[in-house]
Each structure stands twice: as structure tokens, then as C-alpha cells.
Structure 1
Amino acid sequence: MNRIGADVKFQDGANVLCDDPAATLGVLAELGFSGILVRTLDEAFPDLDAGRIREFAQEAAAREMFVQVGLGKVNPYMTAEQPRVRALGGGSHAAGMARMVELCAEHGWFEAWTALGGFKKYPGLFCFDRFRTDCTWEEQLDASANYLEVLAPMLRSHGVRLNIETHEEVTSHEILRLIDRIGEDVLGVCFDPANVVLRGETPAAASGRVAPFTHMTHLRDVHLVPTQQGISRFLAPLGTGAIDWSSVLDPLLAHRPGIDLCIEAVGATRAEMPLSPEDPLWRGAHPDLDEEELGVLRRWADDYPSQVVRRERPSVEELRLHRPAQAAQIEFLQTSLSNLRHELAQLQSTVNTKR
């Protein structure tokens, strides 16, 4: 039986659902969740107060909820944009990471989230770190690998694995090459099927590639909508978008039958981001691009207007609406949880029938 948790983003110890990490566990339990992914440990506990973290761990244990944590980004070209971890290390980013890893190991939180970039509110492709102009993406990947090699001995000594998210800036192929270089004992995957479409990958194919190395998830659905600029990706509650969830979950559960699954919700917006397959700059930046996978994504976008006419999908205007963040996030989580439970039950029923 797979336990299901929710990814929660904190800022100064608070989040959209609650103003305290320990109390957040109660909110999630009331919603029916069995665990939490604390997106960034230092944002939930800004001073890494050992006592407060211990109280949080004890509350999770009392509620029999699993805990996963995030440790921030590992791309040296963008870590300066988020200086908290370096400050925690007294000027050393690696020392700040070590402090957090030690706390994770102390409480038995051995699977940790990380990523290689972050979405920026810049026009066009500049919203992705992949298209920075102060360095190439290849230079960023190489610098990230070098830094991960610095962190690897410390991670091994504590038994903590960093799981790189299939975030909006990186392809599944690139993450797999990093794992091959660093070692799967200290590097794995946090699989987000809604992000891989931005890099021209289908969720099903990406799942098949990363499943052997996936130890964490950010599960949510996706709409691909044709716009004047090309294609826009919008996030949707699991089970309400274009993703065929059996094709995503099948390979994942085949490799990790008991994996703890986490849903990542959005609140006020549906996180519109561009997919630009007709842009020569975009195409040139994806040497691993599979035209068949890209063709599937194009068909999803081409089919969307007719689905809106049939009232099967929301219009682009509806998707762009801003909503009350807390209510929207709770609705997103509840819908996703219900549909994920249904998908898991269907898969289990299929397995039992085959037996």
C-alpha cells in the first residue's frame, strides 16, 4: 500500500495552509494525507532550530506520517539567487547543506529533494535557467555535477540521497547522466510528470526512463493549450488533465512498489509556462529531443480547443484566473488525492486480475 503525502512550500516557517510546520501535519491529516514533503528545510525552520525540528519530527511520528524534506538547489550559477543556505553555513554553501543533511540523518529522513533551477518572471524562454545568457546550460550542468561531487562524501557518510526533480529547466536524460556520473547511492530522481512536457517529453516515456532511480514524486496533471505564442502548459489536479496515469504509475510502481507518493499542489495560479517547439533556439537546446514524444504533446495541444467546446476542459481564460490561494490549494490537493487513490486501486485490481 502506497502512502500519499503532500508537498508543502514554506516561507519563514509558514505556508498557505498553516503558519506552523508541526500544525501543518494536522491540517494534512484532516485532508486525508499520510505524509509531507517539506520543500525546503531551511524555509520551514529558518534558523534550523533543533528543538523545533525535533518537535515536528515527534508530531509526525505520533501521527504515523512520513516525512521527506528538500535541501535547496545545487546549481552554483543560481544558488546566489537564494542565499539562505550559504548564510546557514557562515558563508559556505556546502557547510549549510551539511547542517541540513545532518538533521535529516538524525531524524531518519534519508530521501531529500533538490533541483537545478527555478522559474523566473522574465519574458519568453528567459523564464527558464536553461536559457540564461551569462553561461550555457552545459556549463551549468557541469558545475552542478562538480558541486555534487563535493557534497557526495558528506551525503554518503550520513546515508542521505539527493533526488533531483524533473524540474522545468532540465530533461530526464540530463538527470540520468548526472546520476551515472555521481552515483545512484547519493543521487536519484524526484519525478514530476507535469514538468517534463516543457522539455518536450511525454510523462509516460519519462516515467519509463527515470523509474529505476525515482525515490520521490511531485504528482500533478497538465493541460497543454495552444496560444498565439505557441503552447502554454498549465497545471491541473491529478486526474483532470491530459496525463494517462496508468502509463506513469505502472513503471514507477514496478520498480518501487512501496514508494511514498507526494502530490504537489498549486494555489492562486495554474503556473502557466511556455513550450516552444517551433523556436529554433528552443529546439537547439534539446539534443535528446524525441520527435514522437513531441508529436504526442502537439496533439494534446491541438485537441484542447475542441475539448473546451465540449466543456471537458476549462478555457484558457479560466486557467489564467487568480484564485484565493488557500482554498484553491486545498481543492487541488483533495481532488488529486481522491483521483490518485482511484488510480492506485485500479492498478491493484488489474494486478490481482492477472494473477
Structure 2
Amino acid sequence: MRIGVDGSKIPHEATDTPFQILDKAKNYGLEGVYFRTILDVSPTLDHGLLAEVRAHADDLGLYLQMGLAKVNPYAAAEAPAVRRLGDGDYTRGMVKMIEAASQGAGVTDLWVACANYQKGLPGYHVFDRFRTDAPWADQLVAIEKFLKLLAPTAREHGIHMNIETHEEITSYEVVRLVEAVGPDTVGVTFDCANVVVRGEDPVAAARRVAPYTRATHLRDFVLGEQDGTFGRVFATIGQGVIDWDAVISILHAANPELPLSIENAGPTLHLPIGLDDPVWTALHPDLDPAEVTEIRRLATAYARQTAAGERPSIDTVRATEYNGEKMVLESADFLRSTLNRLGLRSFETAH
């Protein structure tokens, strides 16, 4: 289990090339980069450039993963670059991205997601799950149809489209999509901090998705109220409430070579979790009372530690100035020590 970083979140200048981002990851002592989309590497899908990036990653001894785009037709308008690649056909644009990843970069594990986070919208409307013009059940049907449309191309090129457990979708729904389309072409990108927003315990969610997980977005979180609303705030890995021994052990048992990609993010975002709201719970038919109880337990334990002065309050966490480099390095150190302690890998140095 090599430790790497999300290529869109590693601290870098907007003008940095993919080569410079790989170099930075190596200098941080990391072992791979998960570029969010292949368009971040080459907006024109230049096969020659992609091959050079692949060779550079290999020379540095880094794993290399990339991504495609959203696989929800209801969100296709939010990715105009993909449609342009296909000369007006979003599907053709995605096919060209799959072909370029396979033939140019030699990358066969590709991130996909089902919606964007709608920054700036109020309350639950930050999640496409709560759209009223396109009910979530209709979106899931459309997502499955679109994945099945892409599946023959994925199969031809030996790639997996790895659906992220993003904030709008439950792990139950992700697993159903994998099994409906076929695990030979669809897998999971497990983001262990997103599942709690859908009322899921990260450990239980890890058990659900582990058999299909081929990529990760790892970050931690704390839970608490802000302005009377219960929700999640990101934290450095090991400084939140996730039981990392359990999560890592579950993932390792299913895939001992699974890359562990840190997705660092600032702590200012407080996303609502409506465990006591009938409007919210009505859109979560798979909600497990045992997992809801565990989320409440985690929040109560953290509040107790805060009151005892053992942990910073959620207000303090949110007010802490974001330092991406510090978050990446501290997260990587924690993951190394966890792997060491669990006897899953041995590291000679901290970096």
C-alpha cells in the first residue's frame, strides 16, 4: 500500500506542469500521484505527452492514476470541456479520454464521480441528491445507463472506471452501480470522509466497498454543530475521528496493493448531516440505525475530548489557517506509522 496524493490538491502553482507535480510529490517523500482528470495532464489528450508523464512517474518510482469526469448525464453541462473533446458528443469525449489514458499514459484505473459539490448554494442544495428538477432516483438510473454505454470501451482497453464515494451518493448506491454494470469495468474510489455526510460510519462503509476499491481519496474529519447545524469538517489524517486501524486493515485485506492517496482539503467547509431531519432521512432509504448511532458516538466522544482540553473544538479546527503542505506531510506520516504498527509495511524513514 503505497502512499501518494491527489494531484489537484498537492500544493503547487497553477502554472506547474504534471512533471513538476510529480517531482513535488517525490520531494515530499510520497509514492504516487492521482491526477483528478486526464485533462489536468493534457487538455488536448496528447498521447506523446501522456507517455512522457508516464515515463517520468516510472523513473521516479511513483504510481500514477488519473481520472475522467462526471458520469451523470444530468451533470454533463458542468463539464463542457468533455463535450468539446467529442465535437459536441459527451459520450465520445469520454471515450477519447479512456483511449488516451490507456494508449498514451498506460493508466487503467480512472476516477469518475456522479456529481459536483455545488459551492455557494444553501443547505442541502450543495448536493445534487436534493435536486427537485431531477430526482435522485432518476439520476441513478441515468448514471447506470451511461456507465453501461461506456463499459464496452472500458472493457476493450482493460480499464476500470472507479466511482468516488462523493458527498452526494451513498456507498450502498456505489456498490449497486458497480454490480449492475460489472466489476470488470467499474470499481470504487473510496473517500472515507465523504460517506459520513450520507449518514454512514466510515468503517462500515469500508467493509461495503472494499471488494471493489481500486483507488482512494483519504482525509479525516471531525463532527459537531455550527450555528445549530450538525455536520462534518475536514481534518488532517489521524487528527479526526476515523478509526484508521480498522479502515486500513479492511482495505488491505481486500487489496494489499491498494494505493493510499491523500486528498488534503481545508477545514472551513462544514457540510450538514440531517440525521434528525425527516426531509433528509427520506432521501436515505438505506440509512442504518446502527451506523447513525456510531456517528453520534463519534461526535459525542470528540465533544467530550474537546471539553477536557484534549482536542481542539470544531470552531478552532475551522478557524485554523489551511496549510496544504503541512496537512499532506502530517497525513503521510500518520499513514506510514499506521502501516508500520499494523505490520503491513515497514518504513525506514519518516519521509
Distance in 2 (CA, whole Å) between partners of 1:152 and 1:243 is 34
Opposite residue 117 of structure 1, the aligned amino acid is A
Any idea what SS the aligned residue of 2:44 has?
coil
Find the counterpart in structure 2 of residue 288 from structure 1.
Answer: 286
Structure 1, gaps ≥5 residues long: 351-355
Q: Deviations over 1:66-104 (max 9, x none)?
A: 100010110111121121111111111111111111121
Distance in 2 (CA, whole Å) between partners of 1:7 and 1:100 is 19
Give yes or no for contact 1:246–1:343 (8 Å, CA) kept in 2: yes
Give yes or no for contact 2:165–2:194 (8 Å, CA) kept in 1: yes
Residues 135-174 of structure 1: pairs in structure 2 closer than 5 A: 135-174=134-173
Find the counterpart in structure 1 of residue 349 from structure 2.
Answer: none
Distance in 2 (CA, whole Å) between partners of 1:305 and 1:174 is 31
Residues 310-349 of structure 1: pairs in structure 2 closer than 5 A: 310-321=308-319, 323=321, 328-348=323-343
Find the counterpart in structure 1 of residue 195 from structure 2.
Answer: 196
Any idea what SS the aligned residue of 2:188 has?
strand
Find the counterpart in structure 2 of residue 108 from structure 1.
Answer: 106
Distance in 2 (CA, whole Å) between partners of 1:17 and 1:248 is 33
Any idea what SS the aligned residue of 1:225 has?
strand
Find the counterpart in structure 2 of residue 52 from structure 1.
Answer: 49
Distance in 2 (CA, whole Å) between partners of 1:37 and 1:98 is 20
1:22 corresponds to which of 6, 19, 29:
19
Any idea what SS the aligned residue of 1:258 has?
coil
Structure 1 residue 300 and structure 2 residue 298: aligned?
Answer: yes
Per the TM alignment, residue 155 of structure 1 is displaced from its structure 2 partner at its CA by 0.6
TM-score, normalising length from structure 1? 0.92
Find the counterpart in structure 1 of residue 32 from structure 2.
Answer: 35
Give yes or no for contact 1:226–1:304 (8 Å, CA) kept in 2: no
Give yes or no for contact 1:231–1:301 (8 Å, CA) kept in 2: no
More displaced, 51-60 or 275-284? 51-60
Distance in 2 (CA, whole Å) between partners of 1:222 and 1:148 is 31
Find the counterpart in structure 2 of residue 250 from structure 1.
Answer: 249
Find the counterpart in structure 2 of residue 353 from structure 1.
Answer: none
Distance in 1 (CA, whole Å) between partners of 2:187 and 2:157 is 16
Find the counterpart in structure 2 of residue 66 from structure 1.
Answer: 63
Opposite residue 316 of structure 1, the aligned amino acid is I
Q: Deviations over 1:251-293 (max 9, x none)?
A: 21111012222111114x4432111111111100010000110
The aligned length equals 343
Distance in 1 (CA, whole Å) between partners of 2:30 and 2:269 is 23
Give yes or no for contact 1:17–1:24 (8 Å, CA) kept in 2: no
Any idea what SS the aligned residue of 2:342 has?
helix
Distance in 2 (CA, whole Å) between partners of 1:82 and 1:322 is 32
Any idea what SS the aligned residue of 2:65 has?
strand
Give yes or no for contact 2:38–2:101 (8 Å, CA) kept in 1: no
Opposite residue 292 of structure 2, the aligned amino acid is L
**RMSD over aligned Cα, in angstroms?**
1.9
Per the TM alignment, residue 118 of structure 1 is displaced from its structure 2 partner at its CA by 1.4
Give yes or no for contact 1:25–1:60 (8 Å, CA) kept in 2: yes
Structure 2, gaps ≥5 residues long: 346-351
Q: Deviations over 1:311-348 (max 9, x none)?
A: 33323333333735xxx111111011000011111111
Q: Deviations over 1:174-233 (max 9, x none)?
A: 111111110000111111110100111101100111111100011111101123333120
Distance in 1 (CA, whole Å) between partners of 2:269 and 2:99 is 33
Any idea what SS the aligned residue of 1:70 has?
strand
Residues 94-105 of structure 1: pairs in structure 2 closer than 5 A: 94-105=91-102
More displaced, 338-347 or 309-318? 309-318
